Amino acid sequence: MSTPALESGIMEKVNSWLSGNYDDATKQAIQTLLDNNDANELTDAFYKDLEFGTGGLRGIMGAGSNRVNKYTLGAATQGFSNALLKTYPGQEISVVIAHDSRNNSDTFAKMTADVFSANGIKVYFFEGLRPTPELSYAIRELGAKGGVMLTASHNPKEYNGYKAYGADGGQLVPPHDQNVINEVRQIASIDDIKFQGNPDLIESIGKAIDDKYMNTLLDLSISQDAIKRQSDLKIVFSPIHGTGGVLVPPTLEKFGFNNIQVVEEQMVLDGNFPTVIYPNPEEEEALTMALNKAKAIDADLVMATDPDADRVGIAVKNNKGEFVLVNGNQAASLLINYVLTAWEKAGKLDGNQYVVKTVVTSYLIDKMAASKNVDCYNTLTGFKWIGEVMTRLEGEKTFIAGGEESYGYLVGEHARDKDAVVSCAMIAEMAAFHKDNGSSLYDALIDIYLEYGFYKEKLIAITKKGKSGAEEIQTMMNKFRTNPPAVIAGSKVVTIKDYKSAESKNVVDGTIEKMDLPSSNVLQFFTEDGSIISARPSGTEPKIKFYCSVNEPLANRGEFEAVEAKLDDKLNQVMMDLGVA
């Protein structure tokens, strides 16, 4: 058969893998693509090396430099090992490793442990799958210098990934992430990777850490009296075939809930995620089975976590008794308002507390925090930046809660990553509290809108796969930079923030201010009427995302549906004006 037409650099990489010290199965997979003249697949597999994004290393599993496999993850681990050895010379270094239920996650976790131990680094290895937030907690609890979670979060089944963590329990941020990347780039061949592990340096951990972690979460409970009175709150929970099934139900029980109904079909650990299109609790489809069960038993609350249990999607009953999904901005607002209000009532707010959110998360949270004299920090997208703020302010100010619109929240300082386990517990507690007071989470959300204004957000994600897709996304971002919109949905653009150049431009007078944030390929447009539109290529998926936030006053409950319809129309107009509807 003829050889497919590939760019010279790509063909050079292909040949290096065919002639290098790779295993036979890897070489055969590449040879099959050559024999089938599959130029597109070969290009996508080899046109670049996997890089750290907002969620670490993540990609499609398979053979190639741009694929997740033992060699790309092995190189990452060798580079991480080299960086740790240089950062902590002469010290005893340990790391923690965990994995989720994805196909190959356990194999990749074992390989990662072998490489670390082969480099003389002690490994605390979770005996079975565990949630990402527990890994973050364990790093801090065990005094480790780093950690790795093998997961691709909520991505489709063909994906896997590698989240790298530092000594603070947070995902790597500058300069540490770049230090690891630099070390990886210095690995000339896979022969530089030490795959032969040292079993003496690998220690199994499990139940003892589980118990400490859950007890730490219980200490965060605010309304134990309400839970006691509402202990039979009907909760439907699904881990969507992932790690949430290990710790969420026992944590809810520890908090005092005794009527937890799990979706049995989705308690089965299966990396093919057979009951969903893909395991993303942001999507209604992924909650279908949980919602059906909730309707059948007339539940109070529905919760579902993604495979590594750092995100949670929820559904509640509206005032017509119908289950409605609560999006990430709404859940973050509810949860942060609940904790802020509790702290205020307890007299614990003295101006030294703070909350954190990302720049694409609802600015309703900024407004709530300001009303209580609590600082609200805005970070780049990715919870690692929230963790970075927490680490920087540790010992100086008190963290209350944090959240991002992509369904990730954190209450308490036990971790440096989003935590669906504590989120599930606190959301259930919040539901119990409001039910105990004759209300509901749905009513609580309307109460927030009555006090602070009705904020509504919409996300449009456009998928552009492969090398050509990445180029299309870059072209779109360049167009918005060189020819930004002057008017969006009938309102003038007054401020443009370009996080790539770290500049905020006042469109009215032309003045420019520097922003104190790392460079990131994000654009934001602020309009005269308070709308905020953000454009951002995803760091973990082949997508460009457009986030839009609009708001209107809500005078009374009777106007809720009319104002919501008005905001929906405005959101649609915004997306049409941007050409992405």
Other C-beta atoms closer than 10 Å to the C-beta of 257 total: 25
Preceding amide of 239 cis, omega within 30: no
Q: What angle do CA 249, 253, 254 make, to 5 degrees?
A: 115
Sheet (strand 260-262) strand order: 260-262, 235-238, 301-305, 312-317, 323-326
Identity of the amino acid at 20: G
Distance CA(442)–CA(455), nearest Å, equals 14
Class of residue 300 by CB neighbours under 10 A (exposed 0-12, middle 13-18, buried 19+): buried
Longest dimension (CA), the chain: 76
Q: Report the candidate in 109, 175, 155, 165 with the shortest Cα–Cα distance to residue 133.
A: 165
3-state secondary structure of 523: strand
Other C-beta atoms closer than 10 Å to the C-beta of 101 total: 26
- Catalytic residue (one of 153, 440, 531, 534): 153
CA-only gyration radius of the chain, Å: 24
Distance CA(460)–CA(579), nearest Å, equals 11
3-state secondary structure of 299: coil
CA distances from 329 to 31, 276, 280, 313, 455 (A): 47, 23, 16, 11, 9
- Long-range CB pairs of 102-107 (<8 Å, 24+ gap) are 102/150, 102/151, 102/152, 102/157, 102/159, 102/160, 102/271, 102/307, 103/61, 103/157, 103/160, 103/271, 103/272, 104/61, 104/160, 104/271, 105/129, 105/150, 105/151, 105/160, 105/271, 106/150, 107/70
Q: Report the candidate in 417, 402, 356, 405 with the shortest Cα–Cα distance to residue 213.
A: 417
Distance CA(421)–CA(214), nearest Å, equals 9
Query: Cα torsion for 278, 279, 284, 290, to the nearest 10°?
Result: 130
Our answer to whether residue 501 is catalytic in this structure is no
Other C-beta atoms closer than 10 Å to the C-beta of 556 total: 9
DSSP letter, residue 170: B
Structure-block tokens of residue 563: 């104002």
Structure-block tokens of residue 209: 């850490």
Read off φ and ψ for residue 39, nearest 5 degrees: -65, -35
Active site amino acids: 153
